[in-house]
Copies of this chain bind each other. A is one copy, B any other.
Amino acid sequence: MKQRWMKLINEKPNYSEWVKVYTEKGKIFIIKLQRGGILQTHHGSLSHSDIIEAGYGKMVRFSSGSHAHILRPGIDDNSMKIKRLTQIVYPKDIGFILLKLDIKEGDYVLEAGLGSASMCGALSRYVGESGKVYTYEKREEFLKTSMSNLNKWNLLNRVVFHLQDVGEGFKESDYDAAFIDLPYPVPQLKYVREKLKFSGRLCVLCPTVNQCSQVIHEMNDLGFTQVEMWESIFRPFKTNPDRIRPVDMIYAHTAYLIFGQKISKETEEN
């Protein structure tokens, strides 16, 4: 075990590290530190070398005089700040999906519909070094953007990419869990179930209730149990401690989440 507990060290970021610059106005910049780099904002400029010199948790000043703090970006920042070509899965849903899919070290997870890799980033992080995410995406530009995003988070080596339509079936089998985020998920569910382990967990993300109805029908027919449907509403609050109240506008809806565990059909050999 690395030695800790001796004293609080004033840690400083290195070049090529990603940092979060959090301004006094609450704006967030996630940047990769580079020799000679300058962060240009409407608050003025800030050199990367000043960021390194200050260190984590420390205050820096833009050329305008307004200040900011240097923070480590986290998985929540990643998913809000990635390059997006698509609607992403939001942290509010990601956390719940991870738990309901029971994602853990060593899991082999199928993902159909990579999008911009917001979910893939979380899945590959939590399957650990011994796990793997097998992802299917038919649009090449989505695959490229996602690979770039995953590379930033050092998670590329945990993901196996398939540039193909899921209608052609999945190459691996015995998945511990599967996450489906496709425009028309129903026709693919039979292929997903086929390759999922018995008792393996499925999550299907559906924007509309009509789709939920179709997905649940199909899951019941194919052989899933403990079929659940959830939605979440998250409300951030304004944090003036003397005037606490929810913010004015929120996302009312991202997607409905359908879950189930694969069971054997009575007519099915095993």
Residues of A in contact with B (beta carbons under 8 Å apart): 4-5, 7-11, 22, 26, 28, 55-59, 69-72, 74-76, 91-92, 94-102, 104-105, 108, 122, 125-126, 128-129, 172-174, 195, 197-199, 201, 207-210, 212-214, 216-217, 220, 225-237, 239, 241-253, 256, 261-264, 266, 270
Interface of A: prevailing SS: mixed
Given known contacts A7-B173, A220-B241, A233-B233, what 16 new A-B pairs fall within 8 Å (CB)? A4-B174, A5-B174, A58-B263, A59-B264, A70-B199, A75-B99, A92-B232, A94-B95, A95-B98, A207-B243, A208-B245, A213-B241, A228-B239, A229-B239, A232-B233, A246-B252
CA of A251 to CA of B248, assembled, Å: 6
Check A213 against B244 for contact (C-beta < 8 Å).
yes
Check A213 against B216 for contact (C-beta < 8 Å).
no
Check B8 against A263 for contact (C-beta < 8 Å).
no
Check A198 against B235 for contact (C-beta < 8 Å).
no
Across the interface, A263 reaches (CB within 8 A) one of B59, B173, B216, namely B59
Check B246 against A249 for contact (C-beta < 8 Å).
no
Please give me the 10 A-B residue pairs with the lowest Cβ-Cβ distance, nearest first.
A95-B95, A57-B198, A74-B102, A246-B253, A250-B252, A229-B237, A56-B199, A216-B241, A209-B209, A10-B270
Check B246 against A174 for contact (C-beta < 8 Å).
no
